Amino acid sequence: MKRGIWHQLGDKNQIMAQEQIETGNGVGVILSPRDLALEKATEYAAVYRELEAEVLWDPQFYLPEFSNDNLDTYPTSDHRVSISDLAKFDAAQLGKLRDALQSVSQALQVDAILAPAVIYQAGHADLLRLNERLLAIAREVGAALGKPTYATVVFGRSATSSDQTLGPLLEHVTGLPSDGWYFGFEFEPERVPTDRATVKRCCTTTLALACTGRPVMHAFAGLMAPLGLGSGATAAAIGHSQNLWRFSPERWQPSEPGGGGGAPPRFFSRSLWGTIVHPDELVQLDAALRGRVITPSAFSGSVTANPPQPWSKWDAHKHLLAIIGAEAARLIGTGGAKVIATGVVQLLKDAVALHADIRKQTGLILKDGTSVYQDPWRIAMEEVLRDNDGDYKYLELL
């Protein structure tokens, strides 16, 4: 697994990921069958490989009965049934699913096999058994193709709500025979997580997986990518839209057409580790504050112009990915997980201070909230460093 930022594909961002990799942002992509038909996925996979990016394919069996037109183009679609029916698969049915996984993996020429898996929930031993069986057939594919096999480990909210519900599942998972981890963590349905205890739990779970000595991909990491890297993840997957910023099972449920198309673009600032509305909120800052807030990228020219010029949401998305990727690369360059975590604490401390200065000098409370998540994240990362020093020392020995 290449170390660094990966692009979590979905919501029409295949070309955007290509452009980001061409500019040096990102070392790999994760293809989404929900959002891309097999024929197109094959075409894009070839493009990414030409750019020397690694390619993974997520079978996305989280809610296996869900299907759509894109998913129906994959041979694995024939095996998308309810969890109860999937658990009843006999050896012949599992063999057919294995063959379908191998067919797609060969077509996309993936660098590793991601095992299909349903969401882990507290108190459901049946799901543990099902995911063990699915991992076993994925390992057969990996062995046949000479590729590593990563266990897909996504903990649902019933599991992530407390240490007591998560602990037994994590103990089981870390004993699975895998070559690495494709890890997702379900939070409460917020734009970004704000609960300090749950964020800390996500970080310590990442750290526990990393301490197995196998690589960890923090999937759907979004703005939390630095925290994942600071918790021992080898890689963190980011996407441009909010539904790629955290694992949300709602992505695999029928949905009504969404709104929000008329909302103004938001400028992602490294200094705030958050966004500020362009131009409405930016123009309320004096030159000194604007200079502290604006983090330029190849896609932010309209914002940094004086006076600011109109800016497209698409360029805002590209800018966000560029800034997260640049910060992740900077942090990785500083050292191992403990050093990165210390850098994340400082990043968030500075962000909280800047939010406070904006509020003090202008009275402005940003639409994304003034330090609504940055301070809880800072405290969570500090607590992880304090309470898990032995794990960090063990990582340094691996």
Structural domains for the chain:
4-252 (3.20.20.105), 266-392 (no CATH)
Which parts of the chain have pLDDT scores under 70? 255-261, 370
Q: Give the H/E segment covering residue 235.
A: strand 235-238
Rounded CA-CA distance 368/275 in Å is: 7
User: Which residue, chain included where needed, has tokens 């983090």?
Assistant: 295
Q: Taking a C-beta distance cutoff of 8 angstroms, is the pair 385, 338 a contact?
A: yes
Burial 335-360 (b: 16+ CB within 10 A, else e): eebbbbbbbbbebbebbbebbeebee
Burial 290-319 (b: 16+ CB within 10 A, else e): bebbbbebebbebbeeeebeebebebbbbb
Per-residue pLDDT reduced to its tens digit, 13-36: 999 999 999 999 999 999 999 999
The SS3 of residue 144 is helix
Rounded CA-CA distance 358/194 in Å is: 20
- Both tokens assigned to 69: 């037109």
The SS3 of residue 98 is helix
Rama region for 135: left / alpha / beta (φ>0; ψ in -120 to 50; rest): alpha
Angle subtended at Cα 156 by Cα 255 and Cα 331, rounded to the nearest 5 degrees: 100
Residue 156 is which amino acid?
Answer: G
Phi, psi at 322, each rounded to 5°: -65, -40
Q: Taking a C-beta distance cutoff of 8 angstroms, is the pair 157, 188 a contact?
A: yes
Rounded CA-CA distance 322/328 in Å is: 10
Residues 6+ apart with CB under 8 A from 241: 10, 11, 13, 317
DSSP calls for 47-86? HHHHTT-EEEE----SSTT---TTGGGSGGGGG---HHHH
- Both tokens assigned to 367: 């639409």
CB atoms within 10 A of CB 389: 11
| Residue 255: predicted pLDDT | 67
